[in-house]
Amino acid sequence: MSCRASMTEAKYLKYKDPKQPIAQRIKDLMNQMTLEEKIGQMTQIDRSVASNEIIKKYMIGSVLSGGGSVPAKQASPFTWIDMVNDFQKGALSTRLGIPLIYGIDAIHGHNSVYKATIFPHNVGLGLYTYTRNLNRDPVLVKKIGAATALEVRATGIQYAFTPCIAVCRDPRWGRCYESYSEDPKIVKLMTEIIPGLQGDIPTGSRKGVPFVGGQDKVAACAKHYLGDGGTHLGANEGDTITDTKELFDIHMAAYYDAVVKGVATVMASYSSWNGVKMHSSRLLVTDFLKNRLKFKGFVISDWQGIDKITTPEHANYTYSIISGMNAGIDMFMIPHNYTEFIDGLTYLVKNKFISMARVNDAVKRILRVKFTMGLFENPLADYSMAKYLGSKEHRDLAREAVRKTLVLLKKGKFPEKPLLPLPKKASKILVAGSHADNLGYQCGGWTIEWQGLSGDITDGTTILSAVKKTVDPKTQVIYNENPSENFVKSYNFDYAIVVVGELPYAETSGDDMNLTIPEPGPSTIKNVCGSVKCVVVLISGRPMVLKPYLNTMDALVAAWLPGTEGQGVTDVLFGDYGFTGKLAHTWFKSVDQLPMNVGDEHYDPLYPFGFGLTTQPRNNL
């Protein structure tokens, strides 16, 4: 009797044995799973509605933090770890003890977490790789991926919804700053962030098999599949109206590389292709991504993505579940109405509207990622990782990234008399502008909260404080956010630094048909630059309308959304390092030209793709 019992126990534990091949572990576990347990694995809920008990009751497979969904304001890494571990204990106490995977948007560093390192947004990171033949190795983004993975793990989280490998073809799109470039070749290069996040795939790995190399790495997510950067008029969640060739040449290019590099997951896009919602496109999700590209990880929906299959949203939820499932979505981000999803899917499978084979395909893919990550062996988070959050090494890396992502658009009013680099020794200098002393504006959207914030929102260095740290101790730095013309004239300044730009936004709220610098930006430029030599530093998630102000400025720097390390801006302004950045997005003259991309027949930009003036570091002068 005891012999038989031990044999049964040994068989039951086969899926928990790390020595077994992953395929055998998946098979053994799935043979023991009920339909309810399988559907639980396919369900991802937000932390705000999750608890140890809920996870146990519904056998939930995944929890996420939506934008700004945190356990407490300014929560420490230990508070995060306690929360994630508590959820995990709920999963481990279920009949089969399948660990859950916790996901979060880590778009430019671990951006929801207080005191994390905030790296420049992708719009800046794409440009530093530009060379004539595009052969430069994007080592920097790989390092950023590795640093981000450590900071995400510092809070107990194992899954990051990044990178966005959209190809932004129209800066009116509110997510353009999440895109590395309008050029698919550059976006393809930047998939090197994936081995940074996940680790380098072992030599000889089968194409398309997910890989996550240990407890200091996270599962990555290539998004948003497919064509999100090519929608009509740049509308977020809009329709990409194009033929198959253009869709594949421009928007699919980076997905080939992501799959080859072992990306663990792919997120479906809210957008449509020629009127067909991506969340219901069997052709692109199953036939192409899974069957043709041999992607073996799992496909996840976006936040309430299946609700948006219908107009109005959630109008026919039964249809949405069938459509999303049959398209090939494996895990469903159902942040709040998860019981409706679970009940609906259970009914549809039991009544044969959705096949058991489709359910098994989804669960097999989810388990493959979990086994690959070592979640069964190491389900609980490690408190010793907390030291990586906002570490000096990561801040130094972010500062380096800022330096390399700045683009010098104008050096001076006269070529023979460049204003840059600025002298550190001066009698009196003015720093002005709404963005000069505002860390939240400097970081942009997807920072601490989904839409971003104003003010002193986390640890970091504003451009104003960086200027004060950089100049000679005898140089007087005067700050006035929006000075009058009289104020500027009355002080006899040597020169001025004006920092203006866009206010933070994310997704649809960032869609903008005008792309003008908001007031008081233009007034500050006019008042300051009309009265004293000035360099304008533009903080923005995309090219903006510049033509009306260009003649007033002496020098102009596109600083994009640099993140927490403002010292990277002053490193280059004052000549400790040279300007090297080249535009990875075309800078238009007028919004009437949009969309306009390099290679277009009527290409007439203000600054062309690849443009960027250079300077030498002072010690080379």
Given a contact cutoff of 8 angstroms between Cβ atoms, the answer to whether 266 and 300 are in contact is yes
CA 21 from chain centre, in angstroms, equals: 33
410 and 339 both lie in a single domain = no
In a domain, 442, yes or no: yes
- Encode 491-558 in three state secondary structure: CCCCEEEEEEECCCCCHHHHCCCCCCCCCCHHHHHHHHHCCCCEEEEEECCCCCCCHHHCCCCCEEEE
**Domain closes at, from 357, 388, 419:** 388
Tell me whether residue 618 is in a domain.
no
So what's the pLDDT on residue 120?
98
Decide if 289 is inside a domain: yes
Single-letter amino acid, residue 479? Y
Residue 401 is assigned to a structural domain of this protein: no
- Report the run of H or E that residue 45 belongs to, with start and end: strand 43-46
Q: Give domain status of residue 399, yes or no.
A: no
How much is the pLDDT for 618? 87
pTM summary value: 0.97
249 annotated active-site? no
Q: At which residue do the structure tokens 């009265």 appear?
A: 531
Same domain for 377 and 495?
A: no
Residues 66 and 195 in one domain: yes
Query: Active-site residue among 105, 192, 302, 554?
Result: 302
43-58: pLDDT as tens digits: 999 999 999 999 999 9
302 is an active site residue: yes
Q: What pLDDT shows up at residue 262?
A: 98
Distance CA 386, CA 491 (A): 48
Tell me the CATH number at 440. 3.40.50.1700
Taking the CA atoms of residue 440, residue 120, residue 124 and residue 156 in that order, the dihedral angle to the nearest 10 degrees is -120
C-alpha span between 276 and 263 (Å, rounded)? 25
List per-block mean pLDDT (blocks of 10 residues) for the chain, which spans 621 residues. 46 86 98 98 98 98 97 98 98 98 98 98 84 64 98 98 98 98 96 98 94 97 98 98 98 98 98 98 98 98 98 98 98 98 98 98 98 98 97 98 97 91 98 98 98 98 98 98 97 98 98 98 98 98 97 98 98 97 97 98 97 88 47
Helix 22-32 to helix 356-373 angle (10° resolution) is 130
Count of structural domains within the chain: 2
Catalytic position from the list 178, 182, 330, 507: 507
Q: Do residues 380 and 495 both lie within one domain? A: no
Tell me, yes or no, whether 114 and 251 share the same domain. yes
Task: Look up tokens 């998860």; give the residue.
Answer: 338
Return the amino acid letter for 315: A
Helix (H) / strand (E) containing 479: strand 476-480
Could you report how far apart the first and last alpha carbons of the chain are, in Å?
A: 86
Contacts of residue 364, Cβ cutoff 8 Å, sequence gap at least 6 = 26, 30
Residues 325 and 474 in one domain: no
Cα separation, 40 vs 338, whole angstroms: 10
Classify 89 as helix, strand or coil.
Answer: helix
Q: Which of 161, 159, 158, 164 is nearest to 141 (CA)?
A: 164
Distances (CA, A) of 458 to 120, 378, 388: 15, 31, 16
Task: With CA atoms as reference, report the closest residue to 251 among 144, 166, 339, 192.
Answer: 166
Is residue 544 within 8 Å of 521, Cβ to Cβ? no
Q: Are residues 411 and 309 in the same domain?
A: no
Contact present, 436 and 499 (Cβ < 8 Å): yes
* Together in a domain, 359 and 489: no
Q: Which residues contact 412 (CB under 8 A, 6 or more apart)?
A: 418, 419, 420, 554, 555
Q: In this structure, which long-range contacts are made by residues 317-325, counting pairs with CB atoms below 8 Å and at least 24 apart in sequence? A: 317/341, 317/344, 318/344, 318/348, 321/345, 321/348, 321/354, 322/348, 322/353, 322/354, 323/277, 323/279, 323/280, 324/279, 324/280, 325/354, 325/358, 325/359, 325/362
For residue 619, what pLDDT is reported? 76
Are 438 and 356 part of one and the same domain?
no
Helices 338-350 and 317-327: angle between axes, nearest 10 degrees:
70
Distance between CA atoms of residues 88 and 289, nearest Å: 31
In a domain, residue 88? The reply is: yes
How far is 230 from 104, CA to CA, in rounded Å? 25
- pLDDT of 136 reads 54
Q: What are 137-143's contacts with CB under 8 Å, separation 24+?
A: 137/192, 138/189, 138/190, 138/192, 138/193, 139/192, 140/400, 140/401, 140/404, 141/190, 141/192, 141/193, 141/196, 142/192, 142/193, 142/195, 142/196, 143/196, 143/397
Task: Please check whether residues 379 and 459 belong to one and the same domain.
Answer: no
Structure tokens at 129: 């790789």
Residue 125 tokens, joined? 């990171």
CA distance 179 to 224: 11
* Same domain, residue pair 331 and 432: no
Together in a domain, 49 and 98: yes
Predicted local confidence at residue 4, as pLDDT: 45
Is residue 613 situated within a structural domain? no
Closest among 120, 70, 73, 74 to 564, alpha carbons compared: 120
Range of the domain at 140: 22-388
**Domain containing residue 59: CATH number:** 3.20.20.300
Q: Is residue 478 part of a domain?
A: yes
